[in-house]
Chain A
């Protein structure tokens, strides 16, 4: 595979902005395209190919958060979108979920790429908490829909992203966040496409994603100067996208891509891999690749795609607590924690008596249909 077989598509406003960042980072000969309903956003983009979809429905004004409108817009211009993928072997689709165009059109665009015979990899961002429940719900259902259609998804929650880039002023935060995703995608793309010191191929990535049930988490750490390897590891393990290393610790399998300039030494690669695999549970898969290009002179970028079980909403708080616990325990040997969350299940079906087939009454996370004395562990003398 070489560069020209790769198409990177940004869909919707968020997608367009991230693709612009990739564009400025430089990805050789890959075709870079943006697809949107909003003509203004397209006009500002620096991408080589620009497609405006759904003019009949939106008058070029964007989908306004309406998923249905986004879907129809893509269906209107299926022929045009299909043309984009005529020579493609590998397609990266980048979209922000929660709005109209990205959420609604993504399934159609992916289907078009697949029918052109290309392998697809989809990066999606989940909306910020402050964007409200509705957008989050739209995004969640889109993730489910996309995975059900057999697509490979890498999910990036914006909240975690914002944490990882720090909260400067809003405009800067957004730009920085876009750049983080852009660089990460770039390095994966390069690792897959370019001949590197240690090659990655798409089936490796596929395997990792398959392990996760179609949804992966993506993380990123960069370092610069003399201590670049150590810096990159530190940044990666502290990265909130990976819940401060928690995702790595729990990942079933993981893909690590290391990108550096020609000054990248074997020792640095070794140090990075060592640190990452030490974080991971012992018996789990780790797949690595390196890519060398002068773009990254005097820098090193470590990108991780981890098979992390994705859970819709709610679980966020619990995950954070886990992360805190994790950092306290970080010197202790790691162990599998998959069993921990499930201890209650065995009890439930047998202990609900006449309510076992009914919709449970849940209050503050407790199933009230289970006898209170059981939940409180009261001892009875029969």
Chain B
């Protein structure tokens, strides 16, 4: 194997997942090892109990080492949390050449200017992603080199998060004497895993319905045009159910998984579900209609918040290929119907593409983030080897 294996680690709110991935000769990513455990010490995608998070991550990495038969020294880490957001920054430079011909230097210069965004001191840039160029007043220029103009502008999508919180997640890994090679926004990973080139070109939104957060990322014209995090996830649905029916979280989680539904259906099947008694829980029955009402209200709200955000950034009308759902929340029954209703766009469940190997890891939408992270890892390795400057489409400026 000419390329070193990549380990993708996601410390999520509901599960900690590590995938060991290798690059096959034909350029396909193969998953050779997996470690997974319900997570501890994480709420809304952020560390709230460092010790438990470390313990949990340690055993996940050990499992992955065993199943992938590798020694894990370094990982790629997926980052999430409600604090992560994005902004569009436009940089403009005058064209230096006397005849107004745009050179490589001008392009490098405008990239630098567009990247230099003023963030509050506690924030760190995660990714900067080039959008289309603009020459004088001509928008939507893809390759400006050699063209003529007086000034060259470039929009840069800047993804940023609060430094301390990102560092807390990194700390979980580094205290296990494992290096973090790169920190990548979870939403970006999911999109990399599930979208095809055509979908990116005609515009698509990936919504990753996680346990603690909901990440979204939109592609238009083949470029990441907007991204963000809503600090509301599957945990909130469970919490709502627990509060609505006065039942413990554990039972609420079970009933959500077993009988949950994103739309309120007019009665087929039983009207009430019996929850069996357990230690410390006397057992009860809940109305199916009420259950679905609770879930519907919450999920509809989450999806609508994202729709509104995309509307504000003006890209809702540039999404031709529709919405793709990933994350554990994509297992919720009728979620596709609900999203189609809210967005008035076609919706589908995303599964990792161009990934082979362990079936369990390549099938489910909840593994999309890690699969995408592995692909990202190989892409960056490629670039490093071939000596291409990192100023391209993705750049993980964030380092420990």
A371 pairs with B244, CB closer than 8 A = yes
B291-304 vs A: 1/0 string, CB under 8 Å? 00110011011000
Q: Mark A355-382, 1 if CB is under 8 A from B, else 0.
A: 1001001011000110111101010111
Cα A44 to Cα B207 with chains together (Å) = 61
Give every chain B residue within 8 A of A361 (Cβ-Cβ).
Answer: 44, 82, 230-232
Which A residues from 108 to 161 make CB contacts under 8 A with B? none
B177 at the interface (CB under 8 A from A): no
A372-B298, A373-B294, A382-B290 are contacts. A354–B235 as well, Cβ < 8 Å?
A: yes
In the complex, what residues of B have CB within 8 A of residue A368's CB?
Answer: 230-232, 236, 301, 305
- Is the contact region of chain A dominated by helix, strand, or loop, or is it mixed? loop
Interface check A353, CB cutoff 8 A? yes
For B82, list chain A residues within 8 Å (CB): 361
The complex places the Cα of A363 from the Cα of B228 at a distance, in Å, of: 13
> Is A373 within 8 A of B240, CB to CB?
yes
Q: Which residue of A lies closest to B298 (CB)?
A: A372
Cβ of A87 under 8 Å from chain B: no
Q: A373 contacts which of B48, B232, B289, B293 (Cβ < 8 Å)? A: B293
Chain A residues with Cβ under 8 A from B44's Cβ? 355, 358, 361
On chain A, the residues within 8 Å of B297 by CB distance are 371-373, 376, 378
**Shortest CB distance A362–B (Å):** 9
Q: State whether the Cβ of A284 lies closer than 8 Å to any Cβ in chain B.
A: no
Contact A355 B290 (CB under 8 A): no
Check if A24 is an interface residue, CB within 8 A of chain B: no
Q: Chain B interface mostly helix, strand, loop or mixed?
A: helix
From B230, B231, B242, B286, A353 is in contact (CB under 8 Å) with: B242
Tell yes or no: B239 within 8 A of A by CB: yes
Within 8 A of B (CB), among A325-375: 351-355, 358, 361, 363-364, 368-369, 371-374
Asked whether any CB of chain A lies closer than 8 Å to the CB of B331, the reply is: no
Q: How far is the CB of A372 from chain B (nearest CB, A)?
A: 4
Q: Which residues of A contact B286 (CB under 8 A)?
A: 382
Chain A residue with the shortest CB-CB distance to B229: A361
**Contact in complex: A371, B243 (CB < 8 Å):** yes
* Cα of A301 to Cα of B216 in the assembled complex, Å: 59
B249 at the interface (CB under 8 A from A): yes
CB of B255 to closest CB in A, whole Å: 14
Report how far A192 CA is from B286 CA in the complex, Å. 70
- B172-212 interface bits toward A, Cβ cutoff 8 Å, 1 = contact, 0 = none: 00000000000000000000000000000000000000000
Point out the residues of chain A lying under 8 angstroms from B245, CB to CB: 380, 382
B381 at the interface (CB under 8 A from A): no
In contact, A378 and B242 (Cβ under 8 angstroms): no
Given A368-B236, A381-B287, A382-B290: A373 in contact with B244 (beta carbons within 8 A)? yes
A376 to B82 alpha-carbon distance, docked (Å):
23
In the assembled complex, the Cα of A363 lies from the Cα of B230 at a distance in Å of 9
The answer to whether B232 and A380 touch across the interface, beta carbons within 8 angstroms, is: no
A361 nearest in chain B by CB position: B231
For A376, the closest partner residue in chain B by CB is B297
Report chain B residues within 8 Å CB of A352.
Answer: 239
A378-B239 in contact given A358-B43, A368-B232 (Cβ < 8 Å): no
Report whether B236 and A369 are in contact in the complex, using a CB–CB cutoff of 8 Å.
yes
- B388 CB to closest chain A CB (Å) equals 38
Report the separation of the CA atoms of residues A351 and B232 in the bound assembly, to the nearest whole angstrom. 16
Q: For residue A369, which residues in chain B have a CB less than 8 angstroms away from its CB? A: 232, 236, 239
Contact A355 B243 (CB under 8 A): no
Residues of A within 8 A of B305 (CB): 363-364, 368
Q: How distant is the Cα of A324 from the Cα of B397 in the complex, in angstroms?
A: 50
Interface core residue of A358, A371, A376 (most chain B CB under 10 Å): A371
Beta-carbon contacts of B219-258 to A below 8 Å, as 1s and 0s? Answer: 0000000000011100110011011111001000000000
Q: Bound complex: CA of A382 vs CA of B246, how far in Å?
A: 9
Complex Cα spacing A376 to B243, Å: 15
- Tell me whether A378 and B293 are in contact (CB under 8 A): yes
- Report chain B residues within 8 Å CB of A374: 243
| Contact code string B256-298 (vs A, CB < 8 Å = 1, else 0) | 0000000000000000000000000000001101100110011
Is B239 a contact partner of A355 (Cβ separation < 8 A)?
yes
Task: Name the residue of chain B whose CB is nearest to the CB of A360.
Answer: B231
Q: Do the beta carbons of B294 and A371 come within 8 Å of each other?
A: yes
Q: Which residue of A lies closest to B233 (CB)?
A: A361
Contact A382 B230 (CB under 8 A): no
Contact A353:B243 (CB < 8 A) given known A368-B232, A373-B297, A380-B294: yes
Q: Which residue of A lies closest to B271 (CB)?
A: A381
B232 cross-chain contacts in A, Cβ below 8 A: 361, 368-369
Question: Which residue of the partner chain B has the closest CB to A137?
Answer: B120
Asked if A382 and B239 make an inter-chain contact with CB atoms under 8 angstroms apart, the answer reads: no
Q: How far is the CB of B4 from chain A (nearest CB, A)?
A: 38
Residue of B230, B235, B239, B242 contacting most chain A CB atoms (<10 Å): B239
Cα separation A371 to B298 with both chains bound (whole Å): 7
A358-B48, A373-B298 given; A380·B244 CB < 8 A? yes
Q: A358-B48, A361-B232, A363-B305 are in contact. Are A371 and B239 (CB under 8 A)?
A: yes
- How far is B243's CA from A183's CA once the two chains are assembled, in angstroms? 59
Closest to A374 in B: B243
**Residues of A close to B300: CB separation below 8 A:** 372
Q: Which of A351, A364, A374, A380 has the largest count of B CB atoms less than 10 A from its CB?
A: A380
In the complex formed, the residue of A with least CB distance to B291 is: A380
A82 to B293, CA, bound (A): 68
* Cα of A354 to Cα of B44 in the assembled complex, Å: 11
B22 to chain A, nearest CB (A): 38
In angstroms, Cα B262 to Cα A372, docked, is 14
CB contact between A380 and one of B242, B249, B287 (< 8 Å): that residue: B287
In the bound complex, residues from chain B placing their C-beta under 8 Å from that of A378 are: 293-294, 297
Measured in the bound complex, the distance between the Cα atoms of B245 and A382 in whole Å is 6
Please report the C-alpha to C-alpha distance between residue A353 and residue B239 in the assembled complex, in whole angstroms.
Answer: 6
In the assembled complex, the Cα of A381 lies from the Cα of B240 at a distance in Å of 15
CA A364 to CA B230, docked complex, whole Å: 12
A371 to B297, CA, bound (A): 9
Among residues of A, the one whose C-beta sits closest to the C-beta of B293 is A378
In the complex, what distance in Å separates the CA atom of A354 from the CA atom of B305?
22
Given A358-B48, A363-B230, A368-B231, the answer on whether A380 and B293 have CB atoms closer than 8 Å is yes
**Chain B residues near A380 (CB-CB < 8 A):** 244-245, 287, 290, 293-294
Top-7 shortest CB links A-B = A361-B231, A371-B240, A372-B297, A380-B290, A353-B239, A372-B298, A373-B297
Query: Can you list 23 A-B pairs with a CB-CB distance of less than 8 A?
Result: A353-B239, A353-B242, A353-B243, A354-B43, A354-B239, A358-B43, A361-B44, A368-B301, A368-B305, A371-B236, A371-B298, A372-B240, A372-B297, A372-B301, A373-B297, A380-B244, A380-B293, A381-B289, A381-B290, A382-B245, A382-B246, A382-B286, A382-B290
Which residue numbers of A lie inside 8 Å of B, CB to CB?
A: 351-355, 358, 361, 363-364, 368-369, 371-374, 376, 378, 380-382
